[in-house]
A and B are shown apart, each in its own frame.
Chain A
Amino acid sequence: MRSELRSFVLGKARVPRRPEDLTDQTPLLTDGWLRSVHLPELLLLMERLRGTPIDVENLKAGDFRDIDTLMARFGPAARLDTVSGLDTVSGLDTAP
């Protein structure tokens, strides 16, 4: 799963990047390796690799931070029932 995630990220990088610059701790979103348009596909990839669906409503801040986090959060060792509560404020009259 780790190597497939790595291949996915390298394949999506907007500008040519050196593969050796992508470590398992490289921030994927804040360093611009991935953008929002890639996330649905990444989600599908992880669901395929782990063999079970991922509940989008249980996603929380930092879940896609780096490959290590993805493995810990969604890899074979991750337990679905350890998903913590949401950080968002659903149901609010949201502002502009």
Chain B
Amino acid sequence: MARIEARRDPTAGDDGAEMLRGDLVVRDLTVAYQEKVVLRGVNARMRPGQVIGVIGPNGGGKSTLLKAILGIVPVTHGTVTLAGRPAATMRGRMAYVPQREAVDWDFPVTVWDVAMMGRYPRLGWLRRPGSPDEARVEAVLRQVGMWGERRTQIGQLSGGQQQRVFIARALAQEGDVLLLDEPLNGIDAQTQEVIRAIIEEERQAGKIVLLATHDLVSASCACDCLCCLNQRLVSYGPTPETYTPETLSATYGGPVIMLGPAGGVASVPAREPGAHPHHWPDHPHHRHAHENLGREHD
């Protein structure tokens, strides 16, 4: 129940005291690639100990929001602050797990090398990793179950193992914010379990976790708040208030089918066929059987 209590109204409160606690605040954010606006009007306040699900259709701006928070895409308008300071100046405190498709898997680095990269912000320029860094890397590789594969070149791993290595890199960084871009995409059950456990641990440790996903069931189960994007901010708020047919319909731009009892936990755009394999079976919020839950298409 601690989780429920940890949920607060994400948009309430003004500046000042909250900021000092380490809130991540996105204000009136607009991002454009060249002249094309891909995301606009995003306002969100994310608090330590909250898991925020970033959902929406493909091209809706999920990855873009994460990258804008990290300051690696140019922000046209608006601000992102962490603990009251511009987030772009605090990049070392934000740990990022990119989509697997964005990585060059043929690159000659081992599992150990990748995890060690998470230590670089702490090392700074010119310095080489020391024994505290090695101890931390060993700990996180054991945590994600990849210690045995530490000498393996990353291209030889399965998709789920690759995902766990990148999560290890993010954990090695010991940041305040963890940004996961589609971590549940095409991975095995063991990896899903590892990711679920890590998200929970990070929440308990008072970190802010952003989880961009097209997996609505996982998002509704794992997240305290949902940030619904469709090239603009459709809705941001506690999961029980945002995970509704109305909001999802507005987010995905079509009619939704309700599954389960009213007060609904499961809904999909009607035009979407296909089953979804992801389940988070032992989560307390996972009260209903979800079947025929689709994912968005372009």
Physical interaction between A and B: no
